[in-house]
A and B are shown apart, each in its own frame.
Chain A
Amino acid sequence: MATGHVIKRAKYKTTAKGSGTPGVLKMTENRIAFKPNDPTSAAKIDVEFRSIKGHKNTKEGSNNPPLLNLSLDQGGSYIFEFETFSDLHVCREFVANALARSGEAAKVKSREAVIATSDRSAVTYSDEQLSTAEMELRIKLLRENSELQKLHKQFVLGNILTESEFWATRKKLLDGDSGRKSKQLVGFKSSMILDTRPQTDGRTNKVTFNLTPEIKYQIFALKPAVQQAFLNLVPSKITERDFWTKYFRAEYLHSKKNAEAAAEAAEDEELAIFLKDDDILASEARRKIQRVDPTLDMEADQGDDYMHLPDHGIFRDGSKDTTESQHEQYKRTFLQDLNRQGEVVLEGRTIDVELDDPMSVAEALARSRRESDGNTKEERIDRISRMTEMEDLQAPYDHPFAPLCIKDPRDYFDSQQVNALKISDDTRAGAEQLRCSLSTEEAYSFLRGSISEIKATGLCAPIVKPEVALTVLNGLTQNISSTKYQLGKNVQESILDRMPLTTKEELLHHWISIQELLRHFWSSYPITTSYLYAKVSRLKDAMSKIYPQLEELKDSVPSDLRHQVFLLVRPMHQALDAAFQHYESDLQKRSAKSGEKPNGYI
């Protein structure tokens, strides 16, 4: 409902049964007005949407006429009878939207009042006058982001930051949000237009198709031939209504898939347009085949020959395909339809015109098609020139290289071995002699002695002393049980997740608030005005309040987590310490400067 108002013919009734007063119903964003055709009639209505409490309407397909019942706040109701159900739907939608809007507005208003009262105390010296739109945006942001709301509550309402200071660092958020509010372009519907089911009244053989501008657009986009026919025929030869009737007649015949369709098409040339294969589509398909990437190997797909199966065995509407071969030209497979639908959906919405007028839609589509043709041609030429590389025109690839030829490896190893042993012996000789005071023979005899010793005595009775075994086991398993060694080793596992929920939240909140404070703190330097000076000292006080809170947090966690919490808190402390240090040194500098001035010289 992009339009801001709706005007429909309707009858105003006081009861559902009565005949009612014919007239025009006009609904704007917040008002609803009814003007009777007879200006003397007293059945005039002009009320605001705010006084409307709810709405009811009759169901489509029931025997009741299209009625819309708007119930009023202070009792009573207005009943309108529309000419068609589509009118009723449009109005109903509009009313629903308008009611939702007015309800929201009321809510915002009450909330605004709450915030405003709390703000008044904080924003005393803020001379900035906010527009209501900006205020609303801020309130909306706060409502959507609980984190932000917490910070706002803590700092702005805690008199640490002013409202404008708080938002000054979030300009992007404010801008970004307004950008997001711009109208989103609705894409092409992915449901197939086959799904537009006719409505039957059940008594006669007549069926009614409900065509919305959207459906017309879909048909045009999917079937260029229909669009072309529309442009050619509609105002000059037949009316729009007849055109669409014929179209659906053709669709109906096609779904029956029998000789009847062919026969009827032979008589009526306009009907034939809809039944025949879409020439424009066919030529486009041919062009597309030409446009296929020249490097693509199409032969690879030739093995997948299941084209002999019509519709791949999928039957449209559950009926078997019985088209005889002589009516080949009227055969359009379900698969073709599906493919075309997919293509158009992927293409997206190519035109940007109001859908209400089918003529302009058809023209715009024709224009966009021609444009895209030109583009793709250029693109294709460019691509071919890039992709096809004449191999025999390229410089030969002969990089100078030395062939790998490992000579007889034994040669290498033997010579190297001797060489190495000599050197290693030289280098080691000194160290080795120091280390093993025994000669070779002594060393070997020692080894043999050990062996015979164990042979004689046997294995020692307890191989390990229990205490030693325990210490070894503890030493080996402490790496496993202690988390200290796994910290940060596992990507999936976050240390924060292992902590109690409250600790985790507290830690995160502290981080965020510290960051917020530090951002303001550092952005206030160098201090040039007394206002900044006051702000910095305010911030410093707030930060020094967080310091003991962190200590408390550290002490409150169970001992096995204390180390991790300590690791997490340390950078916070460091960041705060750096700020404090800067504050102190700046203070000293300032006092030194002012001290240079002789006493009483101000």
Chain B
Amino acid sequence: MASAPSKLYADDVSVLVVLLDTNPFFWSSFAFPFSKFLSHFLSFLNSILVLNQLNQVVVIATGCNSCDYIYDSSMATSPSIESGRMPALCSDLLQKLEEFVTRDEHLGKQDSLGPTTSSLLSGSLSMALCYIQRIFRSGPLHPQPRILCLQGSSDGPEQYVAIMNAIFSAQRSMVPIDSCYIGSNNSAFLQQASYITGGVYQKPQQLDGLFQYLLTVFATDLHSRTFLQLPKSVGVDFRASCFCHKKTIDMGYICSVCLSIFCKHHKKCSTCGSVFGQAHADVASASNLKRKTPET
């Protein structure tokens, strides 16, 4: 990072922040083995670094209880153990990943509430955005940052507000969020994230060819995207989660003052404290219900 301003960044130099889902519950029950997934993923990281020698890769692990940076190509200066089978990058990353998993498990045990089963996507998104903000402030010339979410576990509706805030923050700083969702159903959060920030959402059909997907779709830098035709999403699930029970709803109540979403009628907005009128509650409830359907 320190030498960044002195480097001459062309418009195709990118910083790729990858959010790696390490949800143990997902991977232990998923048909595609994690080791294979890692093998595709590591090859992809190598390819990104090979595409342009100024390219930079940052990997953030998204666990159930914590998130952490597990790899930063700009930091990897120490000559690490070059084993015969693997490049330094991989062994370095895997080492950090293992440490992270142990730490995450340990954190989960301490938690009195018991383990959560969804990954902390909001946390890793926020970390990625923080890192990118640091790049933006490094100087007038900086590589083009983008975020890639490699997500497998299903959405955690309780993170709705935090994730949406992260998405809007990314939109404001013009950072596209690409998402590669390998789980069974589509992820509404990631669909919205990519849609809002102008990134690509892709759900690979053939996980054997994951590397090919990653390379074809997600390796393209932002400059090349202006003249490439990347796959467009067919539809986006725009449904929101209510603020009170974190349920995904397609119809609900909206606070007229702060636009908080609720699944049932409240006397008082829990976000801003506005008191809702009681008169004509029946009529109002019918008219205030707003349906939001997935766009197709």
Contacts and interface: CB of A to CB of B under 8 A. Distances in A.
Interface of B: 22, 24-25, 27-29, 33-36, 38-40, 42-43, 85-86, 90-91, 94, 97-98, 101-102, 104-105, 108-109, 113-117, 156-158, 161-162, 204-206, 208-213, 216-217, 229, 231-232, 243-246, 257-258, 270-275
Contacts of B28: 436, 438, 442-443, 446-447
Query: Of residues A405, A416, A421, A472, which shows the largest number of chain B Cβ atoms within 10 Å of its Cβ?
Result: A472
A460 B246 contact: no
Nearest to B232: A479
23 contacts: A404-B272, A404-B274, A406-B271, A412-B270, A413-B162, A420-B246, A424-B157, A443-B25, A444-B102, A451-B34, A451-B35, A451-B97, A452-B98, A455-B86, A457-B35, A458-B86, A464-B208, A464-B210, A468-B209, A469-B211, A472-B212, A472-B213, A480-B229
A476 B229 contact: no
A184 interface: no
Contacts of A479: 231-232
Interface SS of chain A = helix
Given A432-B117, A472-B216, A476-B217, A405 B85 contact: no
A447 B35 contact: no
Contact of B243 (A402, A407, A416, A469): A416
Contacts of B245: 419-420, 423
A601 to B, nearest CB: 62
Nearest to B160: A420
Query: Of residues A432, A442, A454, which shows the largest number of chain B Cβ atoms within 10 Å of its Cβ?
Result: A454
Contacts of A460: 36, 39
B158 A417 contact: yes
Contact of A459 (B43, B157, B270, B275): B43
A410 interface: no
Query: Of residues A412, A416, A451, A465, which shows the largest number of chain B Cβ atoms within 10 Å of its Cβ?
Result: A451
A181 B34 CA distance: 82
Nearest to B204: A472
Given A402-B257, A425-B114, A440-B105, A451 B38 contact: yes
A463 interface: yes
Nearest to A458: B85
A448 interface: yes
A448 B40 contact: no
Contact of A412 (B43, B158, B271): B271
B25 A436 contact: yes
Given A420-B245, A443-B24, A447-B34, A463 B40 contact: yes
A450 B33 contact: yes
Given A406-B271, A413-B162, A459-B39, 18 more contacts: A405-B272, A406-B258, A412-B271, A424-B246, A436-B25, A436-B28, A436-B117, A442-B28, A444-B102, A447-B34, A447-B101, A448-B98, A451-B34, A451-B94, A453-B35, A463-B39, A464-B40, A464-B210
Interface residues of A, number: 51
A405 B161 contact: no
Query: 5 nearest interchain CB pairs?
Result: A458-B85, A472-B209, A443-B24, A450-B34, A472-B212
Interface of A: 402, 404-407, 412-413, 416-417, 419-421, 423-425, 428, 432, 435-438, 440-444, 446-448, 450-455, 457-460, 463-465, 468-469, 471-473, 475-476, 479-480
Contact of B216 (A441, A443, A473): A473
Given A447-B34, A454-B35, A469-B212, A421 B272 contact: no
B105 A444 contact: yes
Nearest to A460: B39
Nearest to B276: A402
Given A420-B246, A460-B36, A471-B209, A444 B24 contact: yes
Given A435-B29, A440-B115, A406 B161 contact: no
Contacts of A440: 24-25, 105, 108-109, 115
A324 B85 CA distance: 100
Nearest to A489: B232
A438 B29 CA distance: 8
